[in-house]
Amino acid sequence: MSSLRHKAATPYLFLLPALAVRGVVYVYSMGRVVYLTMTRDTTFVGPDFIGLDNYATVLSSGQFWICVANSFAYLLVTPVLIAVSLGAALLVDSGLRGANTLRLPLFIPVVTPTIVAAVAWRLVFAEDEGLVNSGLRALGFDGIRWLTERPWTLVTAMTVTLWKGFGFYMMVFVAGLLAVPRELREAAMIDGASRLGVFRLVVLPAIWPSIILVFLISSISALKVFDELFVTVKGVPIEHQTIVPLVYEYAFGRGNFGIASAMGIVLFVIILAFSMVHLRLARKGEQEAAR
């Protein structure tokens, strides 16, 4: 009996070190952030407990809600990201000659540091002499204020997110596609299904969990976007940006960790709610498809 209990406890003992580190890193940090949300400018002077005032300030701030709205607008990058990465995965998995060798070049953006990518894209979108505007002008159009005018500031950052992210999601889809039995596709084709039909009726349901996963991860990343905006459009009014740059501005621009932490907690709640709703809908969709 005692030996059985010992055996049951063993895995948990192995997990303990990791859980302890995680506890310190996550639980303590989270607790500290929650505490900061209830204080005012404590950096040098010491704690000044103000209850829930910071939350009231954040929730009544027009600037905060504009940035939240921008964060949700930024979610528009997600369907494009899924379409592009799924398209790239289908190409790589198509069996066409040389298609497999595309994996490496398509994956390069993923391993490129975001800062480097954003700086490069900043040059591409430069308003006076950038590649895009030079091209537009050569075609007889006016240049676009990619780096300074709303909503183009968001579009510029979204382009960097798209370019930087699609390679990773492509690999997720490729893994999903490899798990689809070739016999199923062949059987469908023998039964007279077109290529589109095979994709719609065989491949898509099989990789649906991958699509859900990519949608969820890329949506959460989009809501938390920072690097791309920080490098490409830093300096534009904060109302042109999303919620995390606003948090950064309050924490490190104004030194107001209380407000910044309160914004962080509200953002956490928003992302949690978004993810739960999304997962529930996805599960429902999956169940209906199974029926």
Partner 1 sequence: MDRRGFIAAAGGFVALPLIGGTLLSMGGCDISGTKPSRPLQLWTLALAPFEAFILEQIAKFEAANPGARVEWTDVPFDAIDRKLLASAAAGRAPDVVNMSDRTFARFVSMGAMVDLLPLVGQEARATFLPGALRIGEIDGKLLAVPWYLTTQTVLANTAMLAAGNITLKTLPRTWAGLLAIAPEFHKATGDYLFSIPLGYESDLPMMFLAEGLVPLREELDGSGKPRLRSDLDRPAIAEYLTKWVDCFRADGLPRESVTEGNAHQSRMYQERRLAVINIGPNFLKRISDVAPGVFAETAVEPPIVGALGRSHISVMVLAVTRQTTNALLAAKLAMHMASAEAQLEICRRGVVLPSVISALDDPMFQMPDPRVLSDQAAEVKRRIHTGQAVTSRALRDGTAFTASLECWPDLRRAFEDGFKKVLLDGRPLAKMLKETSAEWDRIVATSNGDMSAIPRPEPLRGAGAMGTVGAGEANR
Nearer to partner 1, 150 or 224 (CB): 150
Q: Which two tokens stand for residue 80?
A: 């494009």
Q: Is 263 helix (H, G, I), strand (E, B) or coil?
A: helix
Helices 204-223 + 62-74 axis angle, to 10: 150
Span between the terminal Cα atoms of the chain, in Å = 45
Q: Which residues are registered as beta bridge partners of 39?
A: 49
Biggest alpha carbon distance in the chain?
Answer: 84
Scan for tokens 């059985």, then name that residue: 4
Q: Which two tokens stand for residue 190?
A: 């023998």
How many residues comprise the chain? 291
Q: How far is the CB of 16 from partner 1 (least distance, A)?
A: 5
Q: How far is the CB of 113 from partner 1 (least distance, A)?
A: 17
* Residues lying near partner 1 in the complex (CB under 8 A): 6, 13-14, 16-17, 20-21, 24, 41, 43-45, 127-128, 145, 147-150, 233-240, 251-255, 257
Nearer to partner 1, 126 or 180 (CB): 126
Nearer to partner 1, 17 or 105 (CB): 17
Q: Which two tokens stand for residue 15?
A: 């997990």
Q: How far is the CB of 164 from partner 1 (least distance, A)?
A: 22
Nearer to partner 1, 195 or 234 (CB): 234
Nearer to partner 1, 29 or 94 (CB): 29
Q: How far is the CB of 255 from partner 1 (least distance, A)?
A: 5
Q: How far is the CB of 102 from partner 1 (least distance, A)?
A: 36
Q: Which run of H or of E encompasses 245?
A: helix 243-248
Nearer to partner 1, 41 or 91 (CB): 41
Q: How far is the CB of 95 from partner 1 (least distance, A)?
A: 48
Q: How far is the CB of 88 from partner 1 (least distance, A)?
A: 33
Residue whose C-alpha is closest to residue 84's, from 24, 159, 188, 189: 159
Q: Are 263 and 246 in contact (CB under 8 A)?
A: yes
Nearer to partner 1, 93 or 227 (CB): 227
Q: Is 49 helix (H, G, I), strand (E, B) or coil?
A: strand
Scan for tokens 């398209």, then name that residue: 87
Q: How far is the CB of 70 from partner 1 (least distance, A)?
A: 14
What does each C-alpha distance from 272 to 110, 138, 260 come to in angstroms?
26, 47, 18
Residue 275 amino acid letter? S
Q: Is 66 helix (H, G, I), strand (E, B) or coil?
A: helix
Q: Which two tokens stand for residue 230?
A: 């920080």
Nearer to partner 1, 41 or 185 (CB): 41
